Structure 1
């Protein structure tokens, strides 16, 4: 049974875009197999398929010429502020202007 959970988690992880954060809630499994899902994510992290961003948060690294990239700030913001399908926060100020290419200033925070 553990092998089937591992295979199912691996398939669900491969469906996510590289650089997007995923949590236990993003994986469609029954609550009884929470421990097995956590163990499967840990194994995938050890294999290098996933990287751990924070406790209970993983991401598929985006390969680049300089090594694996961290998830984007937008992906982290979406994960942290999404409440029941609606985004409750968004970038403003210098960070937004920088993303739009209107300025080259880099925000301090």
Structure 2
């Protein structure tokens, strides 16, 4: 009974529309069976709704009826594990938010280093891809940017030149710490990413010592063909890009 009271108290304190699971309620595995019965009773009372196995939400009630959690909230449980970020959204849906395309993605991509995250739940459809580094709450945005450099030839309705122009503008907004992080993680990506990041940063006027690490990681005999001209990226030749 104490567990049921604890669960009810925690749920009452949750924000309406927020999704939660057993881990969010600090329920240990040996109590899952008892907790499941308690959560079932709370569903019957209408206090909570079930999204999928082990995932629930506290409905937000308005004059127009109950509202389901928004997209970001439905996705959140798949991106975090025990309160720590382990994955991030990438691919076309991310590139749309970055201003690289106007195309919608009917199936998103979720990148994680240690697990394969696939989703097939109504409007939430996702395929799994492997990230190039362990994902954290401090690096996932940088990894998403590097994914855009990696996929620069596959971004829908966006030429390589247009993508370079937009990514250049985004990189200009990074502070020194973020730029150092970008370079550090770029070293984990394929040569075309390292070359493009280096070319764009030097075009933007960056001359930090870390840039030499990118340059030294490249093979000068391996030319990266992207179909860019000098007007698109004046520094491209210095980074073995055509």
- TM-score strictly above 0.5: yes
Name the structure 1 match of 2:85.
Answer: 86
DSSP 3-state at the match of 2:26: coil
Task: State how far apart, in whole Å, the 2-side matches of 1:108 and 1:86 are.
Answer: 23
Task: State how far apart, in whole Å, the 2-side matches of 1:29 and 1:83 are.
Answer: 14
Aligned 1:22-61 pairs, distance under 5 A: 22-61=20-59
The alpha-carbon distance between structure 1 residues 75 and 5, as it changes in their structure 2 partners (threshold 3 A), is same
Deviation at 1:81, TM superposition (A): 1.7
- Unaligned ranges ≥5, structure 1: 98-104
DSSP 3-state at the match of 2:66: strand
Deviation at 1:14, TM superposition (A): 1.3
* CA RMSD of superposed structures (Å): 2.2
Task: State how far apart, in whole Å, the 2-side matches of 1:72 and 1:80 are.
Answer: 14
Deviation at 1:107, TM superposition (A): 4.0
The alpha-carbon distance between structure 1 residues 61 and 106, as it changes in their structure 2 partners (threshold 3 A), is farther
Pick the structure with greater CA Rg: 2
Name the structure 2 match of 1:6.
Answer: 4
Name the structure 2 match of 1:100.
Answer: none
DSSP 3-state at the match of 1:49: coil
DSSP 3-state at the match of 1:29: coil
Deviation at 1:106, TM superposition (A): 9.4
Normalising by structure 1, what TM-score? Answer: 0.77
Normalising by structure 2, what TM-score? Answer: 0.37
DSSP 3-state at the match of 1:17: coil
Task: State how far apart, in whole Å, the 2-side matches of 1:62 and 1:106 are.
Answer: 30
Deviating 4+ runs (over 3 angstroms): 105-108
Name the structure 1 match of 2:68.
Answer: 70
The alpha-carbon distance between structure 1 residues 93 and 64, as it changes in their structure 2 partners (threshold 3 A), is farther
Could you tell me whether the CA contact under 8 Å between 1:24 and 1:38 is conserved in 2? no
Bigger relative contact order, structure 1 or 2 (CA pairs below 8 A, ≥6 apart): 1
Name the structure 2 match of 1:101.
Answer: none
Could you tell me whether the CA contact under 8 Å between 1:59 and 1:71 is conserved in 2? yes
User: How many pairs were matched up?
Assistant: 99
